[in-house]
Chain A
Amino acid sequence: MSGDREIPEDAPAHCPGTESEDAGKASACAGCPNQNICAAAQPKLPDPDLSKIQESLANVKHKVLVLSGKGGVGKSTVTSHLAYALSEDVDCHVGVLDIDICGPSIPQIMGLQDEQVHSSGSGWSPIYVDDNLCVMSPGFLLASPKDAVIWRGPKKNGLIKQFLRDVDWGSLDYLVVDTPPGTSDEHLSIVKFLSEAGTSGAVIVTTPQEIALLDVRKEINFCKKVNIPIIGIIENMSMFVCPKCKKTSIIFPPVENGVSGVAQSMEIPFLGSIPLDPLIGKCCDNGNSYLQLHPDAAGTVAYKNISQKIKDYCISLNESKD
């Protein structure tokens, strides 16, 4: 996994990476001022925190990542509404983890802007939206919604680790992880940190236009490179139903077969389409659950179908393990 090598910014060309077995010994290292340091370092042992994370998530049955190469396609909206849909069954305990450090939207979407995290003996307590639905987000750690988190990669990775290791998640059936756009620090870190605890799979969200699909193909190849199984792909904002004349229009024009075409050609399941309904955006702005306020809307039906498919996937995964 070439992306995970720790190569210093000013390293010589072909540096094998400071954590590589060849560090200090490769031909590229000759003449590098840090050659002795690299060569003398102990071979890298696995991060001891990985097993701590595994311990702390021991009672979390399924971990689902929500990914998308592109921003603004509705990852946070989909994450929160899948969590609402999964938690409709009162016996199903659901956690939402927001790892979009620089732009956390989950607190606003779920109506939790003014919440703060409390520490207890067993770690940070997540914020409870309902008896069986809890949330953790970097937004809860900021003093004001205006505050910017201007951090480079390593600090972001540290916080993600803390969210997994130090939060008292308790026993959960599903932990749904909302990610920022891209294929960079946050994504590599969450995959690495969950490597021992095990990730059930990733759900990929996209809008139908080719510009977004371009990034989605990158994200699918990312999942393949880091060995994360893909549960399926969701098409968001698929069509717009005019509230006045009830005719449908296509705002983000798809190419060829759009999302289902990509799913087919890359051999991953297509989970469903969610319409572009202005009420979804409104519910998110106000921090309400669209599923609760509009139980009969087409979007609600779509969300419920998709969450059922994800449930089925996770259950079948468990059965095949046993």
Chain B
Amino acid sequence: MENSSLSSVKNVILVLSGKGGVGKSTLSVQLSLGLVHAGKKVGILDTDICGPSIPRMLNLENASVFQCDQGWVPVFATEDEKLCVMSIAFMLNGKDDPVIWRGPKKTAMIKQFITDVHWGDLDYLIIDTPPGTSDEHLSVVQNSKGKVKGAILVTTPQAVAVSDVRRELTFCRKTSIPIIGVVENMCGFVCPHCSECSLVFSQGGGEALAKQEGLDFLARIPLDPDLAKCCEDGKKMINVFPDSKTLNSINQLVDKMLDNPN
């Protein structure tokens, strides 16, 4: 069977956005950590071949992939083996090495990631994608056909980002991927000096998009330097800043994923 390695994965969720740098990888990691915290077994597949960021965010930069009888063994990010990760970064010799590949090679790599990795029993597989609507996206969709529960669209509030996300929405509709909802990231910055909330990238773009297109608006996550710092250092926000407001917004999203089993 084509996607036999996904056969014991209960839910496959895509994290998509037409635009780059809106926080797809950050959100994939935070969502996964939240699901693990709720007792689930989660896998993350990083399909951004030319710019993988997930390993850094989970402090797995020096890990590498092993082979077992059933295929490649993903890298475990927690001691209790509740969170496993697969990314091309695990296969590069140096972290500065560029992967200068055209479409067909990326397509083949993604196919291997989906069919040849021994994911085992997972409650959730979160697939992080690069920006755009091209080779990587089509390959993910083709190779995980019928298994995808839905896609989360991530955007920042400004109009330029929302217009790219609109294109991603058209992509989902054309490839018949159900859309779970929209997350608005980086929506306000609270000045640490005077507590004034500035709208660095304006506000409400994601919510307006959700309303206009009849989609669920899942969460609004502020622009929080603490969160960026956690991603930089590969730390888990829940350990470092357990009282953060940002964590509340993320948990809201996690709860929605948990409530919505099928």
Residues of A within 8 A of B98 (CB): 69, 183, 218-219, 221-222, 225
User: C-beta contact mask, A236-276 vs B, less than 8 Å → 1, else 0?
Assistant: 00001011110101111101000000000000000000001
The yes or no answer to B28 lying at the interface (CB within 8 A) is no
Q: Are A210 and B232 in contact (CB under 8 A)?
A: yes
Stretch of A36-44, A146-154, A165-173 at the chain-chain interface? A146-154
A146 to B169, CA, bound (A): 8
Give the number of residues in B that approach A within 8 Å (Cβ atoms): 66
Nearest CB of A to B110, in Å: 11
Contact of A278 among B21, B51, B169, B201 (CB under 8 A): B201
Closest to B104 in A: A9
The yes or no answer to A114 lying at the interface (CB within 8 A) is no
Q: Are A281 and B202 in contact (CB under 8 A)?
A: yes
Nearest CB of A to B181, in Å: 18
Nearest CB of B to A12, in Å: 13
Q: Are A214 and B174 in contact (CB under 8 A)?
A: no
Closest to B193 in A: A247
Q: Are B103 and A152 in contact (CB under 8 A)?
A: yes
Contact of A9 among B108, B175, B194 (CB under 8 A): B108
Q: Are A147 and B134 in contact (CB under 8 A)?
A: no
A268 to B97, CA, bound (A): 17
Q: Are A282 and B135 in contact (CB under 8 A)?
A: no
The yes or no answer to A181 lying at the interface (CB within 8 A) is yes
Q: Are A249 and B225 in contact (CB under 8 A)?
A: yes
The yes or no answer to B38 lying at the interface (CB within 8 A) is no
The yes or no answer to A289 lying at the interface (CB within 8 A) is no
Known: A146-B169, A215-B53, A281-B202. A8 touches B193 (CB 8 A): no
Q: Are A147 and B135 in contact (CB under 8 A)?
A: no
Q: Are A242 and B198 in contact (CB under 8 A)?
A: yes
* Main secondary structure on A side of the interface with B: loop
A214 to B87, CA, bound (A): 15
Contact of A76 among B104, B130, B160, B193 (CB under 8 A): B160
Closest to B159 in A: A285
The yes or no answer to A7 lying at the interface (CB within 8 A) is yes
User: C-beta contact mask, B187-226 vs A, less than 8 Å → 1, else 0?
Assistant: 0010111101011111000000000000000000001010
Contact of B131 among A153, A156, A181, A251 (CB under 8 A): A181
Known: A146-B169, A244-B191. A218 touches B130 (CB 8 A): no
Q: Are A251 and B228 in contact (CB under 8 A)?
A: yes
Closest to A248 in B: B193
Residues of B within 8 A of A152 (CB): 103, 107, 134-135, 138
The yes or no answer to A209 lying at the interface (CB within 8 A) is yes
Q: Are A103 and B132 in contact (CB under 8 A)?
A: yes
Q: Are A247 and B200 in contact (CB under 8 A)?
A: no
Q: Are B159 and A183 in contact (CB under 8 A)?
A: no
A-B contact pairs, 13 of them (CB 8 A): A72-B156, A73-B21, A103-B20, A145-B163, A152-B103, A180-B20, A211-B25, A215-B53, A218-B51, A221-B96, A242-B196, A245-B191, A245-B193
Top 4 nearest A-B pairs (CB, nearest first) are A71-B20, A72-B21, A3-B100, A153-B103
Known: A214-B56, A242-B198, A243-B198. 4 other contacts (CB 8 A): A71-B20, A150-B137, A211-B25, A215-B51
Q: Which residues of B contact A (CB under 8 A)?
A: 18-22, 25, 49-51, 53, 56-57, 95-108, 130-135, 137-138, 156, 158-161, 163-164, 166-171, 174-175, 189, 191-194, 196, 198-202, 223, 225, 228-229, 231-232
